[in-house]
Amino acid sequence: MAVEIRVPQLAESISEATVGAWAVKAGEAVARDQLLVELETDKVTVEVNAPEAGTLSEILAATGATVQVGDLLGSLTAGAGAPAAKPAAAATPAAAPAAAPAPAAAPKAPAAAPAAGQALPAAAKLTAEKGVNVSGVAGSGKDGRVTKGDVMDLLASGGPAPAARPSVPAGPRSNAEREERQRMSKLRQVIARRLKEAQNTAALLTTFNEVDMSALMAARKQYVDGFEKKHGVRLGFMSFFVKACVQALKEFPAVNAEIEGDELVFKNYFNIGCAVSTPTGLVVPVIRDADQLSFAGIEKTISDLGKRARDGKLGIDELQGGSFSITNGGVFGSLMSTPIINPPQSAILGMHKIQDRPMAVNGQVVIRPMMYVALTYDHRIVDGREAVSFLVRVKECLEDPQRLLFEM
- Catalytic residues, by residue number, are 379, 383
| Residues 272 and 278: beta-carbon distance below 8 Å | no
DSSP character at residue 119: B
What lies within 8 Å, CB to CB, of 137 at 6+ separation is 116, 117, 146, 150, 154, 160
SS3 320: coil
What lies within 8 Å, CB to CB, of 160 at 6+ separation is 132, 133, 134, 135, 136, 137, 154
Residue 370 sits at the vertex; the CA angle it makes with 254 and 276, to the nearest 5 degrees, is 60
E strand map for 86-230: 204-212
Phi, psi of 17 (to 5 degrees): -150, 165
Burial class of 170 by CB neighbour count within 10 A (0 to 12, 13 to 18, 19+): exposed
Q: Considering only CA atoms, give the Rg of the chain.
A: 28
The H-assigned helical ranges of 131-213 are: 148-157, 186-201
| Residues 244 and 211: beta-carbon distance below 8 Å | no
- What does the buried/exposed string (b/e) look like for 153-166 if buried means 16 or more CB atoms within 10 Å of the residue's CB? ebbeeebbeeeeee
What lies within 8 Å, CB to CB, of 407 at 6+ separation is 247
Strand partners, 162: 132
E strand map for 344-388: 347-351, 354-361, 364-378
Between helix 384-399 and helix 214-231 the angle, nearest 10°, is: 70
Strands 324-328 and 272-274 turn out to be parallel
Which of these, 70, 67, 20, lies nearest to 45 by C-alpha position? 20
